[in-house]
């Protein structure tokens, strides 16, 4: 029997708060720092590594975190999740996104079907459809090949798939796996859809409408926008559109689409990149084999999350350190800083993943919690961020924990040597320098040039950003968010916080307003 208890009731958490604070400047200096970097390292899947040497932890802290993981029953709660217990208590649903990339435990039956079989069936259908598009068996109304794919969706139907597409676009071009250019329409702002439609050849474009319920206002509005553009071009929208939706939605089995591929209520939008939501666009853009490799990388990292040994479970340790920083050290934010241009939209995806999951103030039993939960997540790729917000990170009054990501090699391997080093070497030199600068700081007689240091960071390193390493990277952060939700005793898998604004917006459009809502509506010309 699993016990779901608030963080502040756990004896191990009380012990954690009593552990001596680590002087990061001291432990990261000199030979001690060098040895620490070599030691505080955990292998991840697909050649990645999680290094936490520049975090404010030592062996004493780690032992306290191990006790916390045991008392909080993190491994047992993960097992309950992947074995099909109702972990999403807010919506009374299973949580099965792991099953889109592998079977971690027992067979799970829901809605009268084996769910692993359901997901693999959809992946196979998408693969067959993508192959037919690529070989010309499925064409536009004029019998010509589609050259572009456009995903219409918002939130998890956009952020994750868009981030994954951007991450693999250059790799696919380098490795002869680039099949179709992809674009994304998400914002209900008409300028978004207009900008995409004016930049593509509509006649040779295939559109993917993604909406689990088939009722998402922004997505259906953009669908109408696209259909209107197709009709104005003398094209039949039904020959240019497919749907990714649930089997019970009004979009399923409709003559308005070439085909429909299915998801279910057991996969939240922000966890859906490895489902049909990401599968359709990524398989069309890069081919089904690339998407399969992406799933393989995610599955390999999921298996590491099963390990009960915290020091062999990178996602669990990352989660524990994050809770220590949030609830003991009092840090309110986390910056995600990928030193890879391919990951330029990865922080935006993680922002939704983390903040929509763990931005909660009541526990799983709808009782208020008396401690901070999810941090504010933000980030940009390096080295761009260094010339933007790093000033505050280095010398601001708030300490912001940092999560760096870096690769030894670039995706395109197209580089030049300038001043005795390549561009990639300069990139990697910058991330190494930033970690030490944040940790150790610098003394100066001029206070304006003094860096106090003591600013914690971790780094995930790898050889190159590939489909498999991207899948492992995605899985790491998904599992980190899950473990932190378990520690905070909150439900990470619903998102009631996005609903109120939607309800009020419908009232505005129906002119059913009064008070401040009415005045603001009038101010905006509604």
| Measured CA distances, 249 to 182, 201, 218, 263, 284 (Å) | 25, 30, 16, 10, 23
The crossing angle, in degrees rounded to 10, of helices 314-327 and 467-488 is: 50
CA–CA distances in Å: residue 166 to residues 71, 120, 325, 486? 40, 25, 31, 31
Buried (b) or exposed (e) across 211-239, using 16+ Cβ within 10 A? bbebebebbbebbebbbebbeeeebebee
Distance, C-alpha 399 to centroid of its chain: 23
Burial class (CB in 10 A: 0-12, 13-18, 19+), 191: exposed
Give catalytic status of residue 387 as yes or no.
yes
CB 70 within 8 A of CB 12: yes
Of 17, 124, 502, 506, the catalytic one is 502
Q: Which of 218, 296, 301, 356 is catalytic?
A: 356
Taking the chain, what is the end-to-end CA distance rounded to the nearest angstrom?
54
Q: How far apart are CA 520 and CA 517, in angstroms?
A: 5
Residues with Cβ within 8 Å of residue 351, at least 6 apart in sequence: 377, 378, 379
Based on the residue annotation, tell me whether 356 is a catalytic residue of this protein: yes
State residue 167 phi and psi, 5-degree precision: -65, -30
Residues 229, 286: Cα–Cα separation, whole Å: 26
- State how far the alpha carbon of 325 is from the alpha carbons of 29, 209, 374, 488, in Å: 21, 40, 11, 13
Total H helices, total E strands in the chain: 18, 15
Separation of CA 53 from chain center:
24
Q: Which residue is catalytic, options 17, 303, 387, 408?
A: 387
| CB hemisphere CA count around 245 (13 angstroms) | 24
Contact 275, 263 (CB under 8 A): yes
Helix (H) or strand (E) holding 315: helix 314-327
The catalytic residue positions are 356, 387, 502
């Amino acid at each position: 029997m699993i016990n779901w208890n608030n963080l502040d009731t756990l004896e191990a958490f009380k012990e954690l708060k009593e552990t001596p604070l680590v002087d990061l400047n001291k432990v990261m200096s000199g030979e001690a720092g060098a040895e620490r970097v070599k030691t505080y390292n955990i292998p991840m899947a697909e050649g990645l590594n999680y290094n936490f040497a520049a975090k404010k932890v030592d062996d004493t802290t780690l032992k306290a975190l191990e006790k916390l993981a045991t008392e909080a029953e993190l491994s047992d709660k993960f097992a309950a999740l992947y074995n099909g217990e109702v972990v999403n208590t807010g919506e009374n649903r299973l949580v099965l996104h792991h099953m889109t990339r592998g079977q971690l435990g027992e067979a799970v039956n829901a809605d009268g079907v084996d769910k692993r079989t359901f997901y693999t069936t959809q992946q196979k259908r998408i693969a067959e459809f993508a192959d037919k598009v690529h070989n010309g068996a499925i064409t536009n109304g004029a019998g010509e090949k589609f050259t572009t794919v456009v995903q219409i969706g918002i939130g998890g139907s956009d952020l994750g798939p868009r981030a994954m597409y951007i991450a693999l676009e250059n790799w696919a071009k380098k490795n002869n796996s680039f099949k179709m250019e992809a674009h994304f329409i998400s914002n209900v702002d008409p300028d978004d859809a207009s900008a995409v439609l004016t930049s593509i050849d509509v006649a040779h474009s295939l559109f993917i409408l993604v909406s689990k319920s088939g009722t998402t206002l922004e997505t259906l509005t953009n669908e109408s926008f696209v259909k209107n553009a197709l009709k104005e071009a003398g094209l039949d929208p039904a020959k240019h559109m497919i749907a990714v939706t649930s089997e019970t939605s009004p979009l399923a089995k409709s003559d308005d689409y070439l085909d429909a591929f299915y998801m279910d209520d057991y996969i939240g939008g922000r966890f859906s990149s490895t489902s049909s939501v990401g599968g359709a666009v990524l398989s069309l853009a890069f081919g089904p084999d690339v998407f399969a490799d992406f799933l393989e990388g995610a599955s390999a990292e999921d298996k590491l999350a099963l390990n009960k040994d915290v020091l062999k479970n990178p996602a669990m340790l990352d989660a524990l350190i994050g809770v220590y920083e949030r609830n003991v050290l009092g840090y309110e934010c986390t910056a995600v800083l990928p030193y890879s241009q391919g990951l330029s939209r990865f922080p935006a995806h993680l922002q939704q993943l983390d903040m929509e999951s763990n931005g909660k103030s009541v526990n799983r039993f709808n009782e208020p919690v008396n401690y901070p939960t999810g941090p504010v997540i933000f980030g940009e790729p390096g080295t761009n961020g260094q010339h933007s917000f790093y000033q505050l990170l280095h010398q601001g009054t708030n300490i912001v924990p940092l999560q760096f990501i870096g690769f030894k090699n670039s995706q395109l391997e197209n580089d030049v040597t300038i001043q005795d080093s390549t561009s990639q070497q300069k990139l990697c030199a910058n991330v190494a320098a930033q970690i030490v600068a944040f940790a150790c700081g610098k003394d100066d007689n001029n206070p304006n040039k003094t860096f106090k240091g003591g600013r914690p960071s971790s780094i995930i390193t790898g050889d190159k950003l590939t489909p498999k390493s991207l899948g492992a990277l995605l899985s790491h952060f998904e599992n980190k968010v899950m473990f932190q939700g378990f520690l905070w005793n909150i439900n990470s898998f619903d998102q009631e916080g996005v609903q109120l604004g939607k309800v009020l917006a419908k009232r505005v459009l129906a002119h059913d307003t009064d008070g401040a809502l009415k005045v603001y509506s009038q101010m905006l010309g509604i």
